[in-house]
Structure 1
Amino acid sequence: MYAYIKGKLEDVFEDHLVIDVSGIGYEIYSPNPYNFQRQIEQEVKIYTYFHVREDAQILYGFKEQEEKSLFKKLLNVSGIGPKNALSIVGQTSAHDFALAIEHEDDGFLTNFPGVGKKTARQMILDLKGKVDEWMHSGGATMTEPDAGSVNITTMSTEGADEALEALKALGYSSREINRISGKLKAYDGHSTDDFVKKGLQLLTSKR
């Protein structure tokens, strides 16, 4: 029903955003709302999915079209509801998820909250062959060292620091944050969103 919503970002909460469009405030549930924190009072474009059920009508919103597409595919999996799908989108990229599905890596899939062995196998059964277009996009690539390596290092430091602050805002303790700090700063991410997703993966991974 709504392909996207463009308007002024009024506020950011733990699980949703409020977007003002011509005086109407849209409450939009998002996988990582704090990724938008720096855009408060600015115009933003959110790719949306309108979910209707008997007792509620809910708007879900995503920073990238690819995240929305992954969310929609997850809803087609038996046993996966919007809450689980949103959590998965918030903790991985479409590229990494597609690799796990195509390689039948249920160990990767069971790292997500609420996903057990049975659900992981169902995800593989329902989605294998349907997400392979993401396998060759969005992943980190190795490059030869050059003048740009300084910028990559800066991005790693800044992105990790911003992600750690976002994770604190989501309610994770200092002890939990300190546990993953080193690994997150060593991660080769390309945006703050990448680092937040990686941080959530590290925080929720089974040991």
Structure 2
Amino acid sequence: MFEYITGQIEFIGPEYVVVDHNGIGYQIFTPNPYVFHKSSEPIRIYTYQYVREDILALYGFKSRQERSLFIKLLNVSGIGPKGGLAILAAGQTEQVVQAIENEDEKFLVKFPGVGKKTARQMILDLKGKLGEVLTDTAPDLFSDSAVFDTKSASTSAELDDALEALKALGYAEREVARVVPELLKEALSTDQYIKKALQLLLNGKR
């Protein structure tokens, strides 16, 4: 099991990043690849190696807390790696934990791929078992200053990348289309577009 990988980001796509470590490129699937930025400075990604008969993949996270929640989600019937990443994409681990602890099914079913049955299963399987997720106080090595390019100007290409990332997370094209008018009101980075779109989708604002 890899605890983490430290290296330079060489590629950023809608579903994964490629990290160069000592000349080896690691394909790492993450909740939101666009929180990362290509840089000559090495960064650290906490990883989880997922092994099944038909798949061998690395999943990466900005903190140990996020990874812990992902692993917990994989233990829920009906949630696979893609579903787990979609739930974590909003980047608010505490919010997901709170929804489970409060048995807030209405909040949980707003995630792509999560219906009432899966939401109820999440609550049954995880309620009262997520304390370690929030008590893990390991420092977050992914400060915004390390992964954002604050000098780059937002363009329509960044919005296009954000929309592709949302589709990769499992949101239907019609759902994505409904939040586009709100997104067009601001000039944001790709990551900021994704975060705003997720907030709109989760809050039910169209």
- TM bin, normalised by shorter chain, reads 0.7 to 0.9
Contact 2:162/2:194, CA 8 A, preserved across alignment: no
For 2:179, the equivalent position in structure 1 comes to: 176
Map residues 13-32 of structure 1 onto 2, 5 A cutoff.
13-32=13-32
Structure 2 CA distance for partners of 1:120 and 1:181, relative to 1, 3 Å: farther
Which runs of no fewer than 5 residues in structure 2 stay unpaired? 138-149, 165-175
**Is the partner of 1:170 in helix, strand or coil?**
helix
Distance 1:195 1:93, change over 3 A: farther
Q: Secondary structure at the match of 2:163?
A: coil
RMSD: 3.3
Amino acid at match of 2:162: L
Q: CA deviation at 1:99?
A: 1.0
Aligned partner of 1:4 in structure 2 is: 4
CA–CA distance in structure 1, aligned partners of residues 163 and 191 of structure 2? 17
Corresponding position: 1:200 with 2:198: yes
Secondary structure, in 3 states, of the residue corresponding to 2:89? helix
Judging changes above 3 Å, is the alpha-carbon distance between structure 1 residues 40 and 11 closer, same or farther for their aligned structure 2 residues?
farther
| 1:137 shift after superposition | 9.8
Q: Is the 8 A contact 2:99 2:105 kept in 1?
A: yes
TM-score by length of 2: 0.73
Judging changes above 3 Å, is the alpha-carbon distance between structure 1 residues 92 and 14 closer, same or farther for their aligned structure 2 residues? same
* In structure 2, distance between residues paired with 1:33 and 1:111: 21
State the one-letter code of the partner of 1:73: K
SS for the counterpart of 1:171 is helix
Q: State the identity as a percent.
A: 47
| TM-score normalised by structure 1 residue count | 0.73
The question of whether the paired residues in 1 share the 8 Å contact of 2:9 and 2:39 is answered with yes
What secondary structure is seen at the aligned counterpart in 2 of 1:45? strand
CA distance in 1, matches of 2:132, 2:193: 23
- Gap runs ≥5 in structure 1: 139-157, 186-191
Residue 36 (structure 1) aligns with: 36
Q: How far did residue 78 of structure 1 move?
A: 1.2
Number of the residue aligned with 2:124: 125
Other structure's SS at 1:80 match: coil
Structure 1 or 2, whichever has the larger Rg, is: 1
Work out the CA distance in 2 between the residues paired with 1:49 and 1:132: 20
User: Which of structures 1 and 2 has the larger relative contact order (alpha carbons within 8 angstroms, sep 6+)?
Assistant: 2
CA positional deviation for 1:169: 1.4
Task: State the alpha-carbon separation in 1 of the partners of residues 195 and 131 from structure 2.
Answer: 20
Deviations 1:177-207 (A, max 9, x none): 3325779x9xxxxxx9788445313135546
Q: Distance in 2 between matches of 1:103 and 1:181?
A: 34
Structure 2 residue identity aligned to 1:118: K
C-alpha contact 2:70 2:85 (8 A) present in aligned 1 = yes
Contact 1:10 1:20 in 2 (8 A): yes
Query: 1:96: how far off?
Result: 0.4
Call closer, same or farther: CA 1:10–1:23 in 2, change over 3 Å: same
